[in-house]
Structures are given as structure tokens and as C-alpha cells.
Amino acid sequence: MTAPPAPATRVALLGSATLTIMAAAIMSPSLPSMRADFRSDVLVRLALTVTCLAIAVSAPIAGVVADRFGRKPLLTGSLVLYAVAGTAGLYAPGLGALIFSRAVLGLAVGGIMTAISALIADLFTGPARARFLGLQQAFASLGGVVFLPLAGALAAVGWRAPFWLYAASLLVVPIVVVAVTDRPAEAAPAAAPPPGRSAPYLGIYAVALLATLVFFMVPTQLPFLLADLTASTVVVGVAVAASTASSAVAAVGYAALRRRLGFAAITTLSVALLGAGWAIVGLTTALPVILAGVLIGGAGVGFAVPNLNTWLSELAPPARRGRVLGGLVTAIFLGQFLSPLVLAPLVGALGIARSFVVAGVACVVLTVATTAAASLRRRRPAAGPAGLSSTADPSESSVAPSSRGSSDDQ
């Protein structure tokens, strides 16, 4: 049996994870000052969102690199590039150079996220993998809780000051160099589909894109909704941070949930929680109730991300894990990038509050429909694929029992 990863290896992986989710948002407290300095609202906002687009575009390429040349070289190089591109905001001579550096930062984040997920899938198996992927998501969320307030404080000094925070990746590089090694998982998953069959992956990617697109209404739409209710900026900050905090708490509890439920059931529960939370947000004007809805929806995403990561880790053959998990990174950040664009017509037609309700109800309806489809499919096992459930059931029947029954606890 392969020895469990050393504590230093775990520190390296979780330390790297804290740098990912918050990467694009570090400059958000600087946006008003940047807009005044550069006198361009659109391009300043583009400097923020281009990072998400670059992550989405680069993650599949990072997956190929991880599979072909190893996870450790990709992680080490991406961490160094993260520091170089991130701190470029300290000296970028103009807005064009800054936008370019932010795109390069996205390449680095895509590499970091893909390498981390592939390494966790390689180094852990069974319940230990589910537990550590939950910790990965929790630390990624907590990175925002730690770094974003620091960015806000530094932005008071000047809009360039928060860019110093990107140098934090250099603290992780020595630990990665010393403690992380590339090695394959102990055994390939029993239910890995043939390389040509991508339907199970695509179904999981679709769920990730949808969940992220809806979840990203918190940073892009909720502040305006609360402003209409005359909430203070402090309340807005608490509400946005609450979604991240509840996501982190749920991610820590994911392993315990995984011991009781299969992948498809957790996915259904996660999307239902997200939908219920968003419906609550849109149906009330009471700030405590809105906060409760945000907490419920955040918990749904906190369960969903490690669950989809674990599911793909079980499905993908070891030699293709980098590419498969890179696809998940693409789906997540593409959802972030598309969220304000896709929802703009809905918000324009119905308003923000009703848009939350529509998005929430759509998520709940989706979970009911897929659950019903799965139930019908179980009654008619010879029937053909039926929507999302058909992509889930093959792995659920063979992967989930072996995972729940595994005695390995690295």
C-alpha cells in the first residue's frame, strides 16, 4: 500500500489552494481608484474579468501539460508565474499592460488549480480523497476571507498596493519543491470510461458551469440588490463574505456527507440548496432572511465543487486526470465570466430580486427533473440515456459503492 502523503505535502497543496479563488478579486477594492486614474470604466472592469476568462481558456492546456510533463513542474512554474504576473500591477505603465498581466495571471491560476486537483487525485484514494478535496475547496474559499480584507486595507494606501499580495505564492514555492512528488495513484478506478466516451465528463462540467454561473450572482448582483434596500457597505461586505464562509464550512463537511450519499445524490442536493437559497434571497426584503438565503446557497456550492472534483477523479484514468480535471476548472471559471453577461437580459427585464427567484426556481426544477429521470431509468434499466442522470448513473453504480466501502484512509 502506498504511504500517505507527508504533512509538508498537504501544507503545500492547501497553501497553493488559498491562492486560487481569490486571485481575480484581489484588485476589486482598487477598482474605484483605478477608474478615476485611467478614466475608463469598461476597461478597468475588463482587467478584473479577463483573469477568469484566461483561467477558463488555459485550464485544458494545463491539463495536457500535467499529464505529459508531470504535476509538480506545472505547479511550481505556475506559482512563480503567479507572483510575476500578479505583482505586475505594481509597475504596469498603462491599462493595456495591466490587462495583459491579468490574462497571464489567469494562465498561472489555471495551472495551479489543475495541478492541485490532479495531485490530490493521484496521492489520495477512497474516503481520504473526498476529505482532502473538501479541504482544498475550504482553503480556496478561506483564501478569499483572508486576502480580500487585506486588499481592502492596502487599497486605502493606493490602488497599486494590493498587488503585493500576489507575492505570497513565493512562500509556497520552496515547500512544493521540497515536499511534492509526482506519483500515480495506487490503482486506476474501476469505472473509468474509455478515452473516447466523454459524455459523463460533459454532464459534470455542465453542472459545474450552471452552479457557478448562478452562484456568481452574489458578487455581481447582490451588492446592487442590497444597495436598493439602503444597506450599508459593511452589510454588503458581510453578505458577500458569508457566501464564501458557508461554502468553506460545507466543503469541510463534504467527506462526512460522501460516506452517506452517492455522487449523483450529493449533486442533486447541492443544486437544490443553491436554488432554495437564491429563491429566499429574491423573495424577501428582510436583511437577516437574505443573509440566511446566501448562507444556504453558499453551502450548496461548498458541497458541489469537491463532489464534482471527486467524481471526476474516480471516473478519469490516471493518465488522463490532468485533462479531465482541467475541464472542470474551465467550467467553473467560464461560469464566473459568463454570469453577468448571461443574466444581464434577465436582470434588465425582471429586476435583480426576481432574477434571483427565477435562477433559484430553475435550479430546484432541474433537480426535480433529473431525480425523476433517474428514477425512471432505474425502473427501465435497458432504456437509453436520459439527460444528466444518464451521465451520472454508470459511475454511481460502480464507483460509489467501492469508494464508500474502501478501507484506505490516507
For the stretch 165-181, pLDDT in tens is 999 999 999 999 999 98
Same domain? 233 vs 159: no
409 within a domain of the structure (yes/no): no
- Final residue of a structural domain among 178, 206, 238: 178
Same domain? 338 vs 383: yes
pLDDT digits (tens, 9 = 90+) for 346-404: 999 999 999 999 999 999 998 888 777 767 766 665 444 334 444 444 445 433 333 44
Q: Out of 42-46, 197-201, 294-298, give the one with best mean pLDDT.
A: 294-298
Same domain? 257 vs 141: no
* Number of neighbouring beta carbons within 10 Å of residue 205: 22
320 within a domain of the structure (yes/no): yes
Residue 184's pLDDT is 52
Q: What residue has cell string 434588465?
A: 348
Residue 198's pLDDT is 61
Same domain? 247 vs 380: yes
Same domain? 155 vs 262: no
140 within a domain of the structure (yes/no): yes
Q: What distance lies between CA 156 and its chain's CA centroid?
A: 29
Same domain? 155 vs 246: no
Structural domain span for residue 352 = 195-403
Please check the confidence at residue 196 and state whether its pLDDT lies above 80.
Answer: no
Q: Is 126 left (phi over 0), alpha (psi -120 to 50) or beta?
A: left
pLDDT digits (tens, 9 = 90+) for 71-105: 999 999 999 999 999 999 999 999 999 999 999 99
Q: Please tell me the total count of domains within the chain.
A: 2
Q: Which of 115, 134, 122, 133 is nearest to 2 (CA)?
A: 122
Same domain? 209 vs 350: yes
Crossing angle for the helix pair 71-86 and 169-179, nearest 10 degrees?
Answer: 170
221 within a domain of the structure (yes/no): yes
Q: How far is CA 63 from CA 48, 69, 113, 154, 172, in A?
A: 24, 10, 10, 35, 21
- CATH number for the domain that contains residue 395: 1.20.1250.20
pLDDT tier at 30, thresholds 50, 70, 90 = confident
Q: Would you give the end-to-end CA distance of the chain in angstroms? A: 10
Please check the confidence at residue 121 and state whether its pLDDT lies above 80.
Answer: yes
What is the torsion angle, in degrees rounded to the nearest 10, for the CA atoms of residue 24, residue 27, residue 32 and residue 35? Answer: -80
55 within a domain of the structure (yes/no): yes
pLDDT tier at 231, thresholds 50, 70, 90 = low
The CA distance from 26 to 168, in Å, is: 12
Q: Take residue 153 and report the three cell numbers written for it.
A: 486595507
Q: Which of 235, 206, 208 is nearest to 223 (CA)?
A: 235
Same domain? 242 vs 147: no
Same domain? 268 vs 243: yes
Residue 378's pLDDT is 67
19 within a domain of the structure (yes/no): yes
Same domain? 243 vs 349: yes
Same domain? 291 vs 214: yes
112 by Cβ neighbours in 10 Å (0-12 / 13-18 / 19+) ranks as buried
223 within a domain of the structure (yes/no): yes
Same domain? 381 vs 329: yes
Q: Take residue 373 and report the three cell numbers written for it.
A: 429521470
186 within a domain of the structure (yes/no): no
